[in-house]
Chain A
Amino acid sequence: MFRSTRIAVLALAAMAGGLSSGSALASGTLRIGMTASDIPLTTGQTDQGGEGMRFMGYTVYDALINWDLSSFDKPSDLVPGLAASYGVDPADASKNRWVFKIREGVKFHDGSEFTAAAAVWNFDKLLKNDAPQYDQRQSAQGRSRIPAIASYKAVDKYTLEIVTKAPDATLPYQLAWIMMSSPAQWEKLGKNWDAFAKEPSGTGPWKLTLFAPRERAEMVPNKDYWDKARVPKLDKLVLLPLPEANARVAALRAGQVDWIEAPAPDAVESLKKTKFNIVINAYPHNWTWHLSRAPGSPWNDIKVRKAANLAIDREGMKELLQGLMIPAEGFMPPGHQWFGKPSFKVKYDQAEAKKLLAEAGYSTSKPLVVKALISASGSGQMQPLPMNEFVQQNLGEVGVKVEFEVVDWNQLINIWRAGATDPASKTGHSINFTYFVQDPFTGFIRHLQCDLKAPKGTNWGHYCDPEMDKLLDAVKTTFDPKEQLAVLQKVHEKYVDEALFLMVTHDVNARAISPKVKGFIQAKNWFQDFSPITMDK
């Protein structure tokens, strides 16, 4: 009996040793638990939003113009990608004709060369419905990213011409969305995008070697990558879809993955205590309330808007989120290159908030009643229920009584597209909708330009100010980057000084990482560079 018990204990111990997770993995393999429930589309133009581009866009592919992902401190801006240089044709008085000099000698993973003709082929893939390579799935993701393009052609092997519908200096930002797939590989695989999805070929620093839908993707370095500074140092990159937050944390703790996206805030402290690194940085993400500016909306009064912005205890909310947020000081994150110098200080000042509300005719005994549209969850929404309840409590303390209309996330997207005056908005005075604010269009133009009032565009609140329109037009017609930066700063100053939104917070792109992961620089961007990473043994 004693002998058999001892054998059982030894067997258990041996099993425990043998079962120890991750013991047989190569030192240069980085395994990432994504929040997505599936591997993002692998054919070039990815789906799954920012996460898709992060893991399957800028890894396997390049754009004509890429994002600079090399710095933790500096704002992330555009850099030449597959186009070595670009600009508006100086000879074109209309400023509609852009010329792109294609980087010579760049090869797709299949060995074919990237040329201007390949770029044209890729634009046809998205925009030309009768082109053989037109792909509805990629088009659904890419077409809306390049609204400025009227036409395009290959002038010669290494020169590409793009003509815009109107002068538009934001074209480079739009092109940074468009990933270039290999025409030769598509031909080789029988002109079939489903086959291409399994054996994709881009020009990016990583080559996809395994694609198991909903389960796993594996990549190895492209040793011939054109940008030698971005040739990956790892042996392998593994992507695992782990949509459930607790499952991601468990996988990290068990050593099944080395890196997880978006750890649950309540797991952060315990992860830190067990030596995992919580990596955060500012990035262009915004958590605001869009305010209805339809006739009769109480948010049409600037005093009410400013009072609400002064009523929010952002430090308190930061505590609620275990530090995983950056308190808003404006519409863009503090330190952003477009921040400028707004005169209105977004801060917590209940007394001033009450004073402004009193001037507007409201108080805690005679509160302003507003209806807010919110969701209980959703991509990029952070923790919408507790955060909105926190805002509700703060506003209630100064004399704004908030009633919530909670809707499903997909329904909220539809409401955002429909606009404040649509019946779908159920007479809501605001909508809590978070998003990407990485380029001038997504950051500013789409929210407030008069001719983009929903449902035509996504100006949900139906705001319209000719002065703002002039500024937004100037963003598009100012081609000198420095001058354009100054205009963007003016736009932001107006955003803040007129308190056009309830500016609450910015997400910090949190990820929990094993201490074995070295060399990662989290750029101030939705996308990241995995090339400099190494793994300690």
Chain B
Amino acid sequence: MLLYALKRIVYVTPVALGVSIFCFLLFHLAPGDPLTAVMPIDATAAQQAEMRAAYGFDKPLPIQYGIWLWKVLQGDLGQSIASGRPVLSEVGRAVGNSLILASVATLIGFTFGTFFGFVAGYFRNSPLDRFASALSVFGVSVPHYWLGMVLVIVFSAQLGWLPPTGAGPDGSGNWVPDFEHLRYIILPAVTMSVIPMGIISRTVRALVADILNQDFVQALRAKGLGEWGVFKHVVRNAAPTALAVMGLQLGYLLGGSILIETVFSWPGTGFLLNAAIFQRDLPLLQGTILVLAMFFVTLNLVVDVLQTALDPRIQRG
């Protein structure tokens, strides 16, 4: 088992290296000068050259990459061109905020998705099924940013119940799950939850329908088990797959959503990426994407190892 885990870690190394090269090169292929957005328009050529040298942009690309990678390996993602702050602290703060938002969105999505999925699965082809299925189709197909705007218009602009932007009355610095802060998270989290809700709902519906058609359910009923008892068996059988889907959705949501976080000015990774793209803040872009990519690489590694621990047949395969 340990050997397998070590092997997987070794396999991850070239993937991580590839990700780092991709992150580094991607933004150097785009036209324009990364320092354009931060220097006054009248900056002379000499001043631009001085800044370029200060940030190391005057060196050949392979050398720039080498220096960047060496710093990254030491935990230094560089400094944001636009803000001058260390990229690591900027990304760290944003990842924390996206984690809060993703967790709440996943909770909402899983709760409602499972509920609608069970209802639809249990009452197949009934009006309830059609209603729940329509909701799940709406969830996976509605444009996020549009839904976000509609919710803002209704609950913030018209009713004045919920704040439309930000992460708290004093920002996200001292975020605690109290009433004041939760008010700020409701709209973005609901907006973000509709896709996982739709996916989980459709998955659970199919699972429940499949389980209900299996022989053991007939047997349980034939033995005189009540509907509540049957339901508990169905839940137990559907749970592993539903949880796996939820885990995947949480992973996607942790990456942040540029559109949702921008619409709600939620200071997570999506909001940070949006700012970095518009300001062409290369170190910040590279750092944020690298951290997110490495997060997924690590997540995959952990899942692989865990799956093997739970089911040794995978390792043998």
Contacts and interface: CB of A to CB of B under 8 A. Distances in A.
Contacts of B183: 19
B80 to A, nearest CB: 9
A37 interface: yes
Contacts of A144: 39-40, 42-44, 47
Say whether chain B's binding surface is mostly helix, strand, loop, or mixed. loop
A244 B161 contact: no
B83 A213 contact: yes
A140 B47 contact: yes
A241 B171 CA distance: 11
A215 B165 contact: no
Contact of B279 (A37, A145, A247): A37
Contacts of B280: 410
Contacts of A360: none
Interface stretch (A253-261, A467-475, A487-495): A253-261
A16 B272 contact: no
Residue of B44, B173, B275, B280 with highest tally of chain A CB at under 10 A: B44
B271 interface: yes
From B85, B90, B159, B164, residue with most partner A Cβ within 10 Å: B164
A446 B40 CA distance: 13
Given A38-B83, A145-B40, A21 B172 contact: no
B42 A446 contact: yes
A244 B32 CA distance: 23
B153 A141 contact: no
B45 to A, nearest CB: 6
A15 B183 CA distance: 10
- Tier of interface size on chain A: 35 or more
Contacts of A441: 42
Contact of B160 (A210, A240, A255, A411): A255
A458 B171 contact: no
Interface in A14-45: 15-16, 18-21, 33, 37-38, 41
B139 interface: no
A41 B164 CA distance: 26
A253 B159 CA distance: 10
Nearest to B158: A253
A411 B263 contact: no
Contact of A455 (B45, B84, B85, B165): B45
A212 B170 contact: yes
A297 interface: no
A37 B80 CA distance: 14
Contacts of B45: 417, 455-456
Contacts of B274: 37, 243
Contacts of B36: 410, 413-414
B51 to A, nearest CB: 6
Counting chain A CB atoms within 10 Å of each CB, which of B42, B161, B280 scores highest?
A: B42
Interface string B73-93: 000000000111100001001
A144 to B, nearest CB: 5
Contact of A20 (B83, B161, B278): B161
Given A37-B275, A213-B90, A416-B41, A19 B162 contact: yes
Contact of A215 (B31, B84, B179, B267): B267
Q: Which of A18, A33, A216 is the most central at the interface, judged by chain B CB atoms within 10 Å of its CB? A: A216
Interface residues of B, number: 55
A21 B265 contact: no
Interface in A440-461: 441-442, 446, 455-458
A68 interface: no
Nearest to A458: B42
B265 A242 contact: yes
Interface string A175-186: 000000000000
A403 to B, nearest CB: 20
A454 B108 CA distance: 57
A253 B157 contact: yes
Interface in B29-84: 31-33, 36-45, 47-48, 51, 54, 82-84
B166 A240 contact: yes
A435 interface: yes
A507 interface: no
Nearest to A217: B171
Given A37-B274, A144-B47, A240-B166, A247 B82 contact: no
A197 B85 CA distance: 10
B149 A212 contact: no
Contacts of A408: 31-32
Contact of B167 (A16, A41, A147, A215): A215
B161 A19 contact: yes
A481 to B, nearest CB: 24
B24 interface: no
Contact of B152 (A47, A250, A410, A455): A250
Nearest to B275: A37
Given A240-B166, A247-B265, A408-B32, A413 B41 contact: yes
B223 to A, nearest CB: 35
Contacts of B32: 408, 410-411, 413-414
B116 interface: no
A151 interface: no
Interface in A264-318: none
Contacts of B152: 246-247, 250, 254
Given A144-B43, A414-B33, A256 B164 contact: yes
Q: Which of B40, B47, B179, B278 has the most CB of A within 10 A?
A: B40
B67 to A, nearest CB: 18
A457 B275 CA distance: 29
B110 interface: no
A244 B263 contact: yes
A215 B162 contact: no
B60 to A, nearest CB: 20
A16 to B, nearest CB: 5
Contacts of B160: 19-21, 254-255
A140 B43 contact: yes
A94 interface: no
A98 B262 CA distance: 49
Contacts of B84: 41, 137, 194, 197
B118 interface: no
B308 interface: no
B38 A47 contact: yes
Contact of A244 (B37, B51, B170, B262): B262
B163 interface: yes
A21 B163 contact: yes
B267 A38 contact: no
Contacts of A241: 265
A435 B40 CA distance: 11
Contacts of A137: 84
A401 B51 CA distance: 40
Interface of B: 31-33, 36-45, 47-48, 51, 54, 82-85, 90, 93, 149, 152-153, 156-157, 159-167, 170-173, 179, 183, 262-265, 267, 271-272, 274-275, 278-280
Q: Which 5 A-B pairs have the closest CB atoms?
A: A215-B171, A254-B156, A253-B157, A37-B275, A212-B171
Given A197-B84, A215-B171, 19 more contacts: A38-B83, A136-B51, A140-B40, A141-B39, A144-B47, A213-B93, A216-B171, A240-B166, A240-B265, A247-B263, A247-B265, A250-B153, A250-B156, A253-B157, A254-B152, A254-B162, A256-B165, A411-B31, A442-B42
16 contacts: A37-B274, A140-B38, A140-B40, A144-B42, A213-B93, A215-B166, A240-B265, A242-B165, A246-B149, A250-B164, A254-B162, A256-B163, A410-B280, A414-B31, A442-B42, A457-B42
